[in-house]
Structure 1
């Protein structure tokens, strides 16, 4: 009778609850489950699709490169620091249908470029630029290097493609090119020097290199085909592209001045930089370099907007030759930052 009475009082739910309570009180807690806010013990793995570029503060010597630095084929003009500081963003308002198409195409490329590199153009709030701190748009040293390396890898394409097309046109039709080729080759060479210098200061990830590889292939072929049909649209596109390059480097300079990028303060410029930009030396800063690069982009802006205003098969290149009897300030100068028309010269202002 006693056994039957004990069995009648048996409650499986109570027994299970007691066992569960006992197991909690006697077993060791697992922090990863009970305390989810604690950091995991497993180290965080780097994203395979990371596009950041590793900063190289003091570029190590490379005997294969540094021992054979030749003099530039296109010597760089000696821009003064004062003139470089005066460079600013200038926008040429689209007038014709071709201008609007070129500007729209550039805006689309800019949007895709910003999306890939995690960049958002800052807005001026009470005299201060937005920093986007804590968001995906916050610019670090690594992200800035990725952006400028990608930008320069694309910016070096138009000048070379345009010079190539005009070179073939000249020898095929047995006609002079009137000095367009030299200026376009100089532009391509200058953009490549930007890239080579930044490559000494940063080591892009494999994914960044893949994006550059694909992007250059698509852009180069597309630009080539359009230049065969509408070269004026292409020069206008490059003019608008260089406007955005000036804007980007101005943002970088403001970040440097605001001390948001402290690791750039310790960067030692590679030898290739002061060999090409003769106004620099081994003690020059990263900011000094960016000032020269921005000045170069401003000159490309003026050149391409001017070339887009000319008759492509008839007019001479006004940057290649000074005309006697015309005041120097009334004609463009390829080697000076002092210009009346940073947004490009109109055709009726030039003696062609």
Structure 2
């Protein structure tokens, strides 16, 4: 054992004489650094384990000296200063990371100063519907595609009448599930076309996506009123899956036919909501208070009722009717939608 220790000590002394080692010990930021410079004539002659024997005492000494200092350097991260803490303070247990990304929830309020309760839309998304719009307008089918679109919508109405009959709340829920699809499909395909051809859309992407969002809010309102059963939810899932894929293919093949069909669907929606109002007026359907989401979205009075909600939804459908018939007319003239200004914000 003694001979081995002596041999190891002698070997280390010889290695120290063969190499010029410069050690710089920097006491900065609470840690030490060591640099080793080997002589050119001996570079590559030593084995890794020999170098380990040389630096291991320094390594142990430096690590033991700097460890306490490192433990004391705890940076405190606070939300108020944007994550710039001070040395010497302990980090709190709970750290809010949202300020790091700059995505903080907006604190919105109603007009009366009360907190805004919705995350699905903000106060600047709410609006008052133009109720003066003409509900009786109808596009008379003239061309073959017009007649095809009109007959298709009439045929689609037959199973709806059989299944729902006079249950206009459930009918409206199913209608809004379908009506929210065309705007999303059209906006998505126009978005891809704009990227593919490096062309502006003329505002039609935003206009169609606004329509889809508006129809979705109709559905969210109707769900609050109707409370659909499990089989009605399953029916919604099935109809939406079939209609989305069918309309996607149709829009790729003929946008003018797709918009014409949507225009006639909106005319049927106006008719359905008119019948809905008749049943409310006759007492067949109870005129319950309007859901809170509808009051905030359409800026209705606090004492608004179901009838008020149906009236504004029907007016929205009339606006969508005009937009889609207008879009189809643009295509029938041999032009693209981007060549005509889009009716953005048309409510």
Tell me which interval the TM-score lies in, with the shorter structure as reference length: 0.5 to 0.7
Instruction: State the Cα distance separating 1:71 from its structure 2 match.
Output: 3.5
Q: Is the 8 A contact 1:152 1:191 kept in 2?
A: yes
Instruction: State the Cα distance separating 1:222 from its structure 2 match.
Output: 0.4
SS in 2 for 1:178: coil
Match of residue 100 from structure 1:
147
Match of residue 291 from structure 2:
270
Is 1:334 the counterpart of 2:346? The answer is yes
Is 1:303 the counterpart of 2:323? The answer is yes
Instruction: State the Cα distance separating 1:314 from its structure 2 match.
Output: 5.5
Q: Deviations over 1:136-194 (max 9, x none)?
A: xxx3xxx2221111111111000001101110111011111111111101110000000
Q: Normalising to structure 1: TM-score of the pair?
A: 0.61
Task: Supply the distance in 2 between the matched residues of 1:206 and 1:219 (Cα, whole angstroms).
Answer: 20
Task: Supply the distance in 2 between the matched residues of 1:289 and 1:314 (Cα, whole angstroms).
Answer: 32
Task: Supply the distance in 2 between the matched residues of 1:304 and 1:73 (Cα, whole angstroms).
Answer: 27
Is 1:287 the counterpart of 2:299? The answer is no
Instruction: State the Cα distance separating 1:203 from its structure 2 match.
Output: 1.4
Structure 2 portions without partners, runs of 5+:
1-115
1:103-142 correspondence runs (5 A): 103-117=150-164, 119=165, 139=166
Higher helix share: 2
Match of residue 229 from structure 2:
205
Q: Normalising to structure 2: TM-score of the pair?
A: 0.62
- Of structures 1 and 2, the larger Rg is shown by 2
Q: Deviations over 1:51-106 (max 9, x none)?
A: xxxxxxxxxxxxxxx944354498344236xx35x643332110111111111111
The equivalent position to 2:198 in structure 1, one of 174, 177, 180, is 174
Match of residue 39 from structure 1:
none
Q: Structure 1 pair 162/194, CA: closer, same or farther in 2 (3 Å)?
A: same
More relative contact order, 1 or 2 (CA 8 Å, 6+ apart): 1
Instruction: State the Cα distance separating 1:198 from its structure 2 match.
Output: 1.0
